[in-house]
Structure 1
């Protein structure tokens, strides 16, 4: 049986966390993961787990996923849907090393996911 490709690893990870299965997602993440995210950088699996676990319960759906792969780097583009927005895009650029996600650059508009301004 062949090992999963970086694209398959990233898509398995994405499917897991967006359906609330944080532990399955974390099994695909390196202990020393680094993530550049709006609002601050995350270092290590515990910080990354807390970040995902804090956002995942807010999801009401995921729209239009596109994936592009170039070797060990995989980009995902999608629409995380919450009570606040269903049309704000997100993009992530992953680097996979030794079968685990080692780096993530996450891009999204934080303000779109906050409480409605009135």
Structure 2
């Protein structure tokens, strides 16, 4: 039962933020979330909202999602598509506690999502 619940929470969260519905996504995040991300760690829901909310408007699509579930832990692998890239993979590893996303480890290549470098 925990697998289904954790997987459902992560799927709902992912669909919400990738469609620009940050409020719905944040309803699924614990107030004291801890996130490890390229460029630094984030602590608390407001810091996490700023991070996700800042990236979501850049999305032009999402490709090839794969999921792995282990109890209250869920991993997602996907291609966040932006004007800068459509082939750079991202991975997220979530831990669910008390029906909310309590921890997230986010892995992606930050420079790939920035503006193209001038020659």
RMSD of aligned alpha carbons: 0.6
Residues of 1 paired with 2:8 and 2:116: CA distance? Answer: 36
Does residue 112 (structure 1) correspond to residue 119 (structure 2)? The answer is no
Residues of 2 paired with 1:11 and 1:78: CA distance? Answer: 12
Structure-to-structure mapping, 1:1-118, within 5 angstroms:
5-118=5-118
Q: Which runs of 4+ in 1 moved over 2 A?
A: none
Relative to the length of structure 2, the TM-score reads 0.95
For structure 1, which runs of at least 5 residues remain unmatched after alignment?
A: none
Relative to the length of structure 1, the TM-score reads 0.96
Residues of 2 paired with 1:32 and 1:75: CA distance? Answer: 20
Residues of 2 paired with 1:81 and 1:108: CA distance? Answer: 12
Residues of 2 paired with 1:63 and 1:25: CA distance? Answer: 19
Residues of 2 paired with 1:110 and 1:18: CA distance? Answer: 17
Superimposed CA distance per residue, residues 32-86 of structure 1 (whole angstroms, 9 cap, x where no aligned partner): 0000000000000000000011000000000000110000000000000000000
For structure 2, which runs of at least 5 residues remain unmatched after alignment?
A: none
